[in-house]
Structure 1
Amino acid sequence: MARVYSGLKFLLYPDRLAAIREGRACAPVHVRIKPTNRCNHNCWYCAYRADNLQLGEGMDEADQIPPEKLFEIARDLVDMGVKAVTFSGGGEPLLYKSLPEVVEYLSANGIQVGALTNGSNLKGKMADAFARHGTWIRVSLDAHDDASYAESRSVGMGKFSQLLRNIRQFADRRSNCVLGASFIITESNAPHIYSVCRMLKDAGVSHVKLSAVVVGNEDLGNSVYHTSIRSLAALQIERAKELNDDQFHIVDHYHELAERFQKSYESCPFSRLLTVIGADGGVYTCQDKAYTEGGKLGSVLNQDFKSLWYSEETCGRMQAISPARDCQHHCVAHAKNLALLDMMSLDPAHIPFV
């Protein structure tokens, strides 16, 4: 089966890479939009709600992007030539009532759409929109049965079973929208990695992405947390990989956590390729700095996104980003930045010697 995950996708946008190399402004390839901060789950490890994580330190759970503003943003993204939009949290994006219409508009105008969701509202009109117009949707979970799901997310009994029904029903549509799952590995669920992957494969997902829960802002605290389960998790993951076939694949990102904290470089070129718009109207450098003052580039509540993005002030703020100084925390773009910085350091006279 064709791969849907890669840290090298940015190489397929040479126009953006040339602009970055030459110091010119360019539209982002990908925009993550958090339409609402409202959520019907309360995951104990949620990066936006856990007291021990800086992510979300300025988040107001009542915030949501006004529908008319979201449609304005969508029109700007089309006009700018943005290629993809992912709807995520913040809160649970599929609770945003106008989302089906926005998804349809973006798709009709050439922008591919994905979503990260807890899957509770992947049904009815919302499921219709993604089945017809979405490129992918990924359901996040962290439990193996109704009781463990209720405990980890502070939801009622039976919600895990309901989630599996939603997944099966979406898979049964056999649409072109790729249905995946994300399993967040914790101390309590590590013994169940294989059984959950087996369950999800049987439910119809095309892949399961395995990731380590983040419990703190620093590398050490996360390493200590995972020390006691690392061997067990590795065994479970290897067993889960035996489920791989032409229709299903395990995507193992569990081992990458420790590689994403320490940084020595002084610029963040990947911030030009992907940006985040929060439910508060704030535009942020990345998902790891959403709802933090240090990551905020500006707000679309008092101007349109296109004007903000191309402004001298925004360009200056992006140029001033120093990961070595500002980003000694988890960073999903770390490996991509290393590759971009390596490319940007090349002597032009020697580039043809591939």
Structure 2
Amino acid sequence: MTVRIFSAATLGETPLVYDPATELTHTPGRHVPAGRVLLDDAEVDQWPTVIQHQVATRVPFNICWSPLVRCNLQCPQCLDDKTLPESGATERQRIASLLAASNVLGHDISGGEPLLLRSLPQLLEVLASQRAAVSCTTNGWHLQRRAEELAPVVDAVRVSFDGPDAASHDHWRGKGSFERAVAGARAAVSQGVPVQLHAVMMQSTAHRAQSVADLAADLGAVGVTFLQMLPIGDGAHLAAAELVEDAEARRIVESVQPPHGLRVRLRTRELAEGFTVIRADGQVYHNVRGATDIEATRPLLTGADLDLPLTEGVRQ
């Protein structure tokens, strides 16, 4: 049994439990008190999952906040817009406080590379100060040296892998990146932080899905999320050669034999449609047009700016 932090709330009259490792939202099989709660992850895994458009609420289940565009790697499939200006420390603090006061169940700090932020532990602490579960998504390069300071304030860490070995992973992310990501994941696990591997599914990488799952088990991760590649940002120019259609992606992931205790999921482009992202310029963005593009909707000035258009039923 593994007991870890989840976030629970009732949105649109539907009780929900959000998992900061997998990003999945469940409808609980029993009463769960609202807020940050300790639950057995095996029990939560048995509860049905629900997606955003199935619940009558304008509150996003979870959001991704990318407070910086800087990164120490140059991955060709990156989703970021590197032309955006970065907010300063005061603005980041304002956004963190605003997000913490919202009814969103989960916040993930991404980038760029979030571990380049010296203030990352403080921002995570603010985000988790009220009701939400918090995570960060990292390339893992700096995770080994920062795992100890992050452990008290983060509920899960997602580490990006593009292959199960140095040759395949470093092809996409640069020499030495596999070794650093492996060391970072092991360090986080040793500190008691739940680790989820994130693997972008592309034509060049999909055949290694089973080996990525085996790596995740070896590292002590709780699971693997295979992400349908989105033709957004730098990744747009790879779309013609690297996109894997949803049906084929499902077939590949369903063929994976998860090692004992490891949970494997696929996030399709369909599920990514409408997802809420706060980028470094402080604006609210949503994935649009089947998650083939991303659009800014408004500056994030108040909690109401996070609201989804209820009538459209935004998927995540």
Relative to the length of structure 2, the TM-score reads: 0.69
Are 1:103 and 1:129, in contact at CA under 8 Å, matched by a contact in 2? no
Change (3 A) 1:45 1:111: same
Following superposition, the deviation at residue 141 of structure 1 comes to 1.4
In structure 1, runs of 5+ residues without a counterpart are 21-25, 49-55, 262-269, 324-332, 337-354
| Structure 2 match to 1:72 | 94
> Aligned residue pairs: how many?
267
One-letter amino acid of the structure 2 residue matched with residue 47 of structure 1:
L
Are 1:215 and 1:222, in contact at CA under 8 Å, matched by a contact in 2? no
Are 2:203 and 2:242, in contact at CA under 8 Å, matched by a contact in 1? no
The answer to whether 1:186 aligns with 2:194 is no
Following superposition, the deviation at residue 128 of structure 1 comes to 3.0
Distance 1:230 1:66 in 2: 42
1:274-326 CA distance string (max 9 Å, x none)? 63321012222x2559xx998323224xxx434x728xxxx8xx659979xxx
Distance 1:226 1:31 in 2: 25
> Which structure has greater strand proportion?
2
Secondary structure of the structure 2 residue equivalent to 1:132: coil
Distance 1:122 1:4 in 2: 31
Distance 2:164 2:59 in 1: 41
Following superposition, the deviation at residue 112 of structure 1 comes to 1.8
The answer to whether 1:171 aligns with 2:189 is yes
The answer to whether 1:248 aligns with 2:248 is no
Following superposition, the deviation at residue 238 of structure 1 comes to 4.8
Change (3 A) 1:287 1:202: same
Distance 2:72 2:116 in 1: 9
In structure 2, runs of 5+ residues without a counterpart are 1-41
Are 1:115 and 1:136, in contact at CA under 8 Å, matched by a contact in 2? yes
| Structure 2 match to 1:280 | 281
| Structure 1 match to 2:212 | 196
- Identity rate, percent: 22
| Structure 1 match to 2:64 | 32
Relative to the length of structure 1, the TM-score reads: 0.62
> Which structure has greater helix proportion?
1
Secondary structure of the structure 2 residue equivalent to 1:133: coil
Following superposition, the deviation at residue 74 of structure 1 comes to 2.1
Q: Describe how 1:103-142 pairs up with structure 2 within 5 A.
A: 103-125=124-146, 127-142=147-162
Are 1:137 and 1:179, in contact at CA under 8 Å, matched by a contact in 2? yes
1:173-223 CA distance string (max 9 Å, x none)? 2x2x421101222232233222222122111111011233344799xx669
Q: Describe how 1:1-354 pairs up with structure 2 within 5 A.
A: 1=42, 2-3=44-45, 8=50, 17=56, 20=57, 28-48=60-80, 56=81, 59-60=82-83, 63-89=85-111, 91-125=112-146, 127-153=147-173, 155=174, 157-173=175-191, 175=192, 177-215=193-231, 225-226=243-244, 230=248, 234=251, 237-238=253-254, 240-243=256-259, 245=260, 247-253=261-267, 256-257=268-269, 259=270, 275-284=276-285, 286-287=286-287, 295-300=295-300, 304-306=301-303, 309=305, 334=315
1:82-124 CA distance string (max 9 Å, x none)? 43311123x1122222111111222233332112221212233
